[in-house]
């Protein structure tokens, strides 16, 4: 069993679920793998001499798209530079833009609970976003903004070399996998980005709006842990 009963109950309680009847049968793991989508290795020539300090400066000073004119500050991401788990969200919201930190609002609180249920802490993972700047009024990122920002995430991935990537929500998963698939289609499978396994999960902000999906979210977390353990063996 992956979790202690106490942890499981804590999570369910936090998610507003009082009774949990697992209906999820873990599919044969090998049938879940998809082909690498991007193929290209992050350890390419121009990334080898990169440093956290240089990358941080580049992000902070970025003026590649118009979001630099509306942001309060950039949100670089935070956590362990040696994390095995890299969580990638969509973009900073208002609280993140104000504080310069990822996932600090209400969705962030729920993400913390989800991490706790996985027996992970924010100190041992790294959390970043597809976009480093807040889109005005929390609108969806534009494709051009994603393109302009993509290199920063690639550089973060190259520096961290995570064992597994968790795409938090549809927009992050679609951007990373370069697809228009729904989150319903993307979840429950092991994808790859830059040769690193990637699992897509529901965004906590979506779960706050659609509590009925929280059961599926719980399944996704179990699946992510299962995938990670399989990779470690
Ligand atoms: N939602 C995200 O996707 N990222 C954040 O940092 C905050 C909310």
| CATH number for 80 | 3.40.470.10
Flag whether 108 is in a domain.
Answer: yes
CA end-to-end distance (rounded Å), the chain:
16
- Whole-prediction pTM value? 0.82
Residue among 72, 75, 91, 175 whose CB has most ligand 1 atoms within 8 A, to mutate: 91
Flag whether 143 is in a domain.
Answer: yes
25 pLDDT more than 80: no
pLDDT score at 9: 52
Flag whether 216 is in a domain.
Answer: yes
Q: Which residue has the tokens 């549809």?
A: 170
Distance 100 CA to ligand 1 centre (A): 11
Flag whether 26 is in a domain.
Answer: no
**What is the pLDDT of the chain when averaged over all its residues?**
86
Number of domains in the chain: 1
Flag whether 18 is in a domain.
Answer: no
Flag whether 19 is in a domain.
Answer: no
Indicate the pLDDT class of residue 6, thresholds 50, 70 and 90: low
Range of the domain at 198: 31-232
Edge-to-edge strand ranges of the sheet holding 78-79: 78-79, 126-129, 85-89, 164-168, 196-201, 191-193
Pairwise CA distance, residues 130 & 229, whole Å: 26
The binding-site residues of ligand 1, defined as CB within 6 angstroms of any ligand atom, are 89-93, 96, 102-103, 107-108, 129, 168, 205
Flag whether 22 is in a domain.
Answer: no
Q: Which range is least confidently modeled, 28-37, 76-85, 128-137?
A: 28-37
Q: Report the interhelical angle of 106-117 vs 214-232 (nearest 10°).
A: 50
């Amino acid at each position: 069993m992956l979790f202690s009963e106490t942890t499981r109950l804590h999570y369910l309680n936090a998610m507003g679920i009082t009774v949990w009847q697992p209906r999820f049968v873990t599919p044969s793991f090998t049938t879940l793998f998809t082909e690498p989508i991007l193929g290209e290795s992050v350890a390419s020539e121009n990334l080898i001499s990169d440093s956290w300090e240089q990358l941080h400066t580049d992000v902070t000073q970025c003026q590649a798209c118009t979001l630099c004119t509306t942001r309060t500050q950039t949100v670089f991401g935070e956590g362990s530079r040696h994390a095995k788990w890299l969580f990638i969200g969509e973009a900073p919201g208002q609280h993140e833009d104000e504080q310069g930190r990822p996932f600090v609002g209400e969705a962030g609180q729920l993400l913390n609970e989800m991490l706790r249920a996985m027996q992970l802490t924010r100190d041992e993972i790294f959390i970043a976003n597809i976009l480093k700047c807040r889109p005005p009024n929390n609108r969806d990122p534009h494709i051009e903004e994603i393109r302009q920002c993509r290199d920063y995430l690639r550089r973060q991935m190259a520096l961290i070399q995570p064992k597994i990537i968790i795409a938090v929500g549809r927009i992050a998963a679609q951007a990373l996998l370069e697809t228009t698939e729904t989150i319903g289609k993307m979840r429950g499978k092991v994808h790859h980005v830059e040769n690193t396994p990637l699992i897509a999960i529901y965004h906590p902000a979506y779960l706050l709006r659609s509590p009925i999906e929280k059961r599926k979210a719980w399944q996704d977390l179990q699946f992510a842990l299962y995938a990670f353990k399989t990779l470690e063996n």
